[in-house]
Amino acid sequence: MSNTISVYDNHTGETITREMDTAEQKAYNTMLAEHAAAATKEAAEAAAKKSAYKKLAALGLTADEIAAL
């Protein structure tokens, strides 16, 4: 799969659209993978916090007490 890059030249007002070369495509794919990994990690951390909150709430702690921890 090949993506395109658009470059706008402010001096001429010309926009050049071309396909990514191999290095650009590799960098783009790496960036997408890093973003997906970061999003997965963020979702896992949020789920862990929610789980911990539920466990502490089940022990009878109030929201303020949980926040203080």
pLDDT at residue 6, as a whole number: 94
pLDDT at residue 22, as a whole number: 93
pLDDT tens per residue, range 29-68:
999 999 999 999 999 999 999 999 899 889 988 888 888 8
Distance CA 29, CA 36 (A): 11
Tell me the pTM. 0.63
pLDDT at residue 1, as a whole number: 58
Q: Which residues contact 66 (CB under 8 A, 6 or more apart)?
A: 53, 56, 57
Specify whether the CB–CB gap between 53 and 66 falls below 8 A. Answer: yes
Domain segments of the chain as ranges: 4-68
Distance CA 44, CA 36 (A): 12
